[in-house]
Amino acid sequence: MLKIGVLVSGGGTNLQAVLDAIESGQIAGAEVKVVISNNQNAYALERARNHGIDAFCISPGDFQDREAFNNALLEKVDEYGLDLIVLAGFLVTIPPAMVKKYRNRIINIHPSLIPSFCGKGYYGLKVHEAVLERGVKITGATVHYVDEGTDTGPILLQKAVEVHEGDTPESLQKRVMEEAEWQILPQAIAMIADRQEETE
């Protein structure tokens, strides 16, 4: 059984897509053990509790310094013996010690076709604003492994989404979520779960 931890900052729609895919059997041999947010008001925590999943807020603001926060986050993750950590809209930099310890076991969903519109400063609506400013016709989402850089790790899956005439950042964000993010994040987890089953 692939033990998953999900790290989120907001509403948790990608988390919901994963939970739905597990419940429908699209993802087999996997379960979400814990959900952690840096934001105590994140609706994602509520979603987790509604599914009987442990949910915690660990916020940098509650600690003396970033090192203390990093240690607390890593400790909590370690408690669950996770096989996979999923960053589903987590807006905090992952501690280097965690990247090292969980090498090739952390994946992130990013709302563009990497290497376009990614890296420092590109998150949330800012990505879609930049896409519209540049006038590109195709955008999408990417699931990639996390390394020490920002959005620089090996790519697992990508899905393209058309940009429509008259799109706003909000309408484009919604379409990228519905047509790409909510599809390829569960697909990527299913692939990883299948691979683990084969090696067991």
Q: At how many degrees (to 10) do helices 13-24 and 43-50 cross?
A: 20
Identify the active-site residue in 110, 128, 144, 164: 110
Instruction: Reply yes or no on whether 110 is catalytic.
Output: yes
d(CA 4, CA 29): 11
Residue 146: what residue type? Answer: V
Q: At what angle do helices 169-176 and 125-134 cross, to 10 degrees?
A: 110
User: At which residue do the structure tokens 């519109």 appear?
Assistant: 117
**Nearest-angstrom CA–CA distance, 172 and 52:** 32
Write out the catalytic residue numbers: 110
